[in-house]
């Protein structure tokens, strides 16, 4: 598996756009072949997304799609390009039940 992080600074407009367009973003990312999971979180005025895919090609495709989407939705906002890190996952831990499933 491969993971990619995309870290944006000054990302309030991006957080708002992702929240408003959740279903569109979900379709965009989850349809990448080999998609495993996606997370996005705020940190101060920034935002980081974490995408996990079965292979490097999938991780790179999610980055391409994210860049296209951000460019289309947020052009003219002056937001700088994200810092991107991609690498092979070598250790994984996950809970296999959710709070909803426990209930």
Span 27-52, pLDDT tens digits: 999 999 999 999 999 998 899 999 99
Number of domains into which the chain is organized? 1
7 bridge partner residues: 48, 83
Q: Which domain holds residue 81?
A: 2-102
Report the mean per-residue pLDDT for the chain. 90
pLDDT greater than 60 at residue 98 = no
pLDDT confidence of residue 94: 86
Q: How large a percentage of the chain has pLDDT more than 90?
A: 75
| Beta strand residue intervals within the chain, DSSP E | 2-8, 35-43, 46-53, 83-88
d(CA 80, CA 11): 9
| CATH number of the structural domain spanning residue 52 | 3.30.70.100
Length in residues, the chain: 103
pLDDT confidence of residue 103: 46
């Amino acid at each position: 598996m491969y993971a990619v992080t995309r870290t944006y600074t000054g990302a309030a407009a991006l957080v708002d756009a992702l929240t408003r367009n959740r279903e569109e973003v979900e379709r965009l990312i989850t349809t990448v072949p080999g998609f495993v999971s996606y997370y996005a979180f705020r940190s101060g005025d920034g935002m980081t997304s974490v995408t996990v895919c079965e292979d490097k090609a999938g991780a790179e495709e999610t980055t391409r799609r994210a860049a296209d989407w951000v460019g289309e939705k947020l052009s003219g906002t002056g937001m700088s390009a994200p810092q991107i890190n991609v690498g092979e996952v070598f250790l994984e831990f996950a809970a296999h039940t959710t709070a909803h499933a426990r209930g």
